[in-house]
Amino acid sequence: MADPTPDIVLDDLTGWARTRPASPLGDADAAQMLLSLLRDHLGVDNLSGLKPGDLDELLLHVYPRAVTALRPDDVADVIPTVRELLVFLGDTGRVPAKRVKQLDRAVDRIEPRFVDAMMDPDRWGPARAITQAMAADGVDLSDEDAVLGWVERHNATGPGFPYGDPDVELDDGEETFDDEVIDLKEAFDLPDRLPPLRLPTEAELAELAPGRSIGRSGWRCGLASAAG
C-alpha cells in the first residue's frame, strides 16, 4: 500500500514531534519539500521502501536541480530535517531499524558534500539557473511584475541584441537581428512556475522587522502551523 500524501505524512510528523522529549532538529517546510521531491521526482510514494541510494539522488541531484537557494545558509536545516525524518520513520515502524541505520550512514556520507552540490551551477536545472540569475540581478522574486519585466528584457536580447530594444543599431552601425524574440520559457522547456525558494531564516526576518517579536518557532510550532 502506498504511503499517504506528503501533507498527511507531515501531519503524522506533527503529532510525533509533539511527543519528542528533546528539542527537534528539523524544519516543517524542509520536511514537506523533501517528502514532495521524493514522491514527485523519485517516485518514492511509500517511505517503507526508502533506500540509501534514494537519499543520494535526492540530496545531491534532485534538490540542487529543483530548489533555489540563494545562499548556503538557506539550506542549513535540510540535513538535520532528513535526520529527524529518519528517526520518525524508525519510531513509527515505517522503516525497519536496520535500514534506518543504513540510511543514517548514507546521510553521514552525503552531508559534507551537500552544500557544495547545492551551490554548484552545473547541478542546477534551467528553471533554477534562471531564478538564480534573476536574484543576482537584484530582482524581487516575490514581485510578479519585476519577474516578468526581467524575462521580457532578456527575451529582447538574443545574439547581437543590445539590452532592451531589438530595433536599435549596434555601436559599430551594424543593424541588430530582427528575428522573432527568444522565449526563455519555450527555449528551456520551463514550467509555468519557478522552482521552490528557501525562505530567509527567522533571525533574518526579525532583523527586517524592527520592533516586532519573532520567536523561534522550532520544529513543533512550524509543523503545527503547516498542518493548520
Which DSSP string do the residues of 95-124 spell out, in sequence order? S-HHHHHHHHHHHHHHHHHHHHHHT-GGG-
Low-confidence ranges of the chain (pLDDT < 50): 1, 159-170, 173-182, 211-228
Cα–Cα distance, 102 to 226 (Å, whole number): 29
Cα–Cα distance, 181 to 168 (Å, whole number): 14
Cα–Cα distance, 61 to 68 (Å, whole number): 13
Query: Does residue 143 lie within any of the structural domains?
Result: yes
Cα–Cα distance, 30 to 93 (Å, whole number): 22
- 144 with 70, same domain: the answer is no
- 23 with 86, same domain: the answer is yes
For residue 154, give its domain range: 126-165+176-187
- 110 with 145, same domain: the answer is no
Query: Does residue 192 lie within any of the structural domains?
Result: no
Query: Does residue 28 lie within any of the structural domains?
Result: yes
Cα–Cα distance, 166 to 155 (Å, whole number): 10
Query: Does residue 201 lie within any of the structural domains?
Result: no
Overall number of domains in the chain: 2
- 35 with 93, same domain: the answer is yes
Q: What is the model's pLDDT at position 132?
A: 85
- 65 with 161, same domain: the answer is no
Q: What is the model's pLDDT at position 75?
A: 92
- 85 with 24, same domain: the answer is yes
Q: What are the cell numbers at 197?
A: 525558494
Q: What is the model's pLDDT at position 46?
A: 83
Cα–Cα distance, 160 to 149 (Å, whole number): 20
- 116 with 86, same domain: the answer is yes
Query: Does residue 48 lie within any of the structural domains?
Result: yes
Indicate the pTM of the whole model: 0.66
- 140 with 114, same domain: the answer is no
Q: What is the model's pLDDT at position 161?
A: 40
CB atoms within 10 A of CB 66: 19
- 39 with 141, same domain: the answer is no
- 141 with 109, same domain: the answer is no
Cα–Cα distance, 55 to 38 (Å, whole number): 9
- 36 with 147, same domain: the answer is no
Cα–Cα distance, 50 to 54 (Å, whole number): 6
Q: What is the model's pLDDT at position 128?
A: 85
Query: Does residue 203 lie within any of the structural domains?
Result: no
Q: Which amino acid is at 216?
A: R
Element (H, E) at 28: helix 28-42
- 24 with 115, same domain: the answer is yes
Query: Does residue 153 lie within any of the structural domains?
Result: yes
Query: Does residue 1 lie within any of the structural domains?
Result: no
Is there a contact between 154 and 184 (Cβ–Cβ < 8 Å)? yes
Torsion angle in degrees (nearest 10) through CA of 42, 44, 45, 48: -170
Give pLDDT tens digits for 38-63.
Answer: 988 898 888 888 999 999 999 999 99
